[in-house]
């Protein structure tokens, strides 16, 4: 792909694409057309996702209304209770939350939510943004179904500046109101294929959705552009020994829902997938290129050797990356996630500042070139040089990441 093509994609998809939205569907159809234009057999695979229409959300303290966004899928309720600031979920702090609305420094993860329910909290408040930023943006968050496990607790998200105001005025009673309509909607994966000469496949993935405040150029249109670059490069030499399956995942930002849906729907076929190559955030002006390998440590060494051969600076390690590689690894498919991690003061995500200005067309072409070279080595191998097994160390990290085990238990 050239710079003009990359700029066109970034311009055409320069909009918010939250999972299950009409804007996400527009992006899915756009990517489907792009893959077909490159000569790949392409289809859209819908999957169900929980959705909600927020009708009313309000947070009031001492007669002052605090701007907020209600948590989608947290139920509908109205509570009035003391405010408790909870900077940590240690056992002593948790004894103070019963009957209170809890202000958290963290998001609402599975174990934090279990602590809130067990501790008897009446509701919760989270915040994002930065007290030093000029904006007062508030991200619209959701109580994820795999976090709630059928339980409800009213919650809102606020700006960091208002969180500081609440802490400075602690001891006040707050009123929290949430009213919404919850229903089931659809998100979509876009799947493009270049069949090989064998019946085995390499699956390449990248998510194309964004959060509610973000146009998601860096996170993760950049990864989608990388997939299109690889598809274009590999098509020139097709067929390869291994078929190539490109999965553009929907609803990643909602908890890897697209890759979870794909691996669940295609579980019987996963035995024929030798490797997953996942791209999540590449192509920035600054930042180091990394590879996180959810597979045997030999793949870490292979990637380092390939990078040295190609003169490519890279940091590789074994572990679990918070992206669409994780559901593949959890199903026993060796996986690697590639990313270019920019310094936080150069490129941020999940906010209004994630725009095309963060990206360099030259860097996207260079990153895509390395990734295509790595993919070609794998796709043309007589035997994929990666054992089809997930090491115990990685399985332990997967258990923690996927909430089957609490960290440090």
Segment 26-54, tens digit of pLDDT: 999 999 999 999 999 999 999 999 999 99
Segment 103-140, tens digit of pLDDT: 999 999 999 999 999 999 999 999 999 998 899 999 99
Contact 234, 240 (CB under 8 A): yes
**Degrees (nearest 5) of the Cα angle 277, 289, 336?**
20
Give the torsion through C-alpha atoms of 308, 314, 318, 320, to 10 deg: -150
pLDDT at 71 over 80: yes
CATH topology of domain 3-50+186-401: Aminopeptidase (3.40.630)
Q: Domain map of the chain by residue range?
A: 3-50+186-401, 63-171
pTM, rounded to two decimals = 0.96
The H-assigned helical ranges of 13-128 are: 22-37, 91-94, 110-119
CATH topology of domain 63-171: Glucose Oxidase; domain 1 (3.50.30)
As separate numbers, helices (DSSP H) first and strands (DSSP E) second, the chain gives: 12, 14
Secondary structure (3-state) at 199: coil
Segment 317-355, tens digit of pLDDT: 999 999 999 999 999 999 999 999 999 889 999 999 999
What DSSP string describes 216-254?
Answer: -IIIIIHHHHHHHHHHHHHHTTPPPSSEEEEEEESSGGG
pLDDT of residue 302: 97
Segment 93-105, tens digit of pLDDT: 999 999 999 999 9
Structure tokens that stand for 299 in this block? 């793949």
């Amino acid at each position: 792909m050239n710079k003009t093509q990359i700029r066109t994609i970034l311009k055409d998809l320069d909009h918010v694409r939250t999972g299950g939205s009409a804007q996400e569907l527009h992006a899915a159809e756009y990517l489907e057309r792009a893959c077909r234009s490159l000569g790949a057999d392409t289809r859209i695979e819908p999957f169900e996702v929980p959705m909600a229409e927020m009708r009313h959300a309000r947070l009031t303290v001492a007669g002052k209304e605090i701007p907020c966004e209600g948590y989608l899928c947290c139920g509908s309720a109205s509570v009035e209770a003391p405010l408790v600031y909870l900077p940590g979920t240690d056992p002593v702090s948790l004894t103070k939350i019963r009957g209170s609305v809890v202000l958290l420094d963290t998001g609402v993860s599975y174990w934090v939510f279990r602590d809130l329910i067990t501790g008897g909290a009446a509701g919760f408040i989270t915040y994002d943004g930065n007290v030093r930023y000029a904006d007062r943006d508030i991200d619209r968050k959701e109580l994820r179904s795999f976090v709630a496990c059928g339980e409800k607790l009213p919650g809102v998200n606020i700006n960091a500046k208002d969180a500081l105001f609440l802490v400075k005025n602690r001891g006040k009673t707050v009123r929290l109101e949430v009213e919404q309509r919850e229903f089931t909607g659809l998100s979509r994966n876009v799947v493009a294929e270049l069949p090989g000469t064998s019946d085995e496949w390499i699956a390449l993935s990248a998510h194309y959705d964004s959060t509610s405040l973000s146009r998601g150029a860096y996170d993760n249109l950049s990864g989608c552009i990388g997939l299109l670059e690889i598809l274009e490069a590999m098509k020139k030499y097709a067929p390869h020994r291994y078929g190539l399956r490109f999965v553009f995942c929907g609803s990643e930002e909602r908890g890897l829902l697209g890759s979870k849906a794909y691996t669940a729907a295609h579980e019987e076929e996963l035995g024929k997938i030798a490797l997953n190559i996942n791209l999540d955030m590449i192509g920035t002006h600054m930042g180091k290129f990394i590879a996180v390998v959810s597979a045997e440590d030999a793949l870490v060494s292979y990637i380092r050797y390939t990078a040295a051969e190609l003169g490519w600076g890279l940091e590789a390690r074994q572990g679990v990356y918070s992206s669409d590689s994780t559901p593949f690894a959890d199903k026993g498919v060796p996986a690697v996630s590639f990313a270019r991690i920019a310094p936080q003061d150069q490129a941020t995500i999940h906010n209004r500042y994630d725009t095309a200005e963060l990206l360099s067309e030259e860097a996207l072409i260079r990153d895509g070139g390395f990734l295509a070279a790595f993919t070609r080595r794998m796709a043309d191998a007589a035997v994929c040089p990666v054992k089809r097994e997930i090491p115990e160390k990685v399985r332990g990290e997967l258990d923690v990441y996927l909430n089957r085990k609490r960290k440090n238990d």
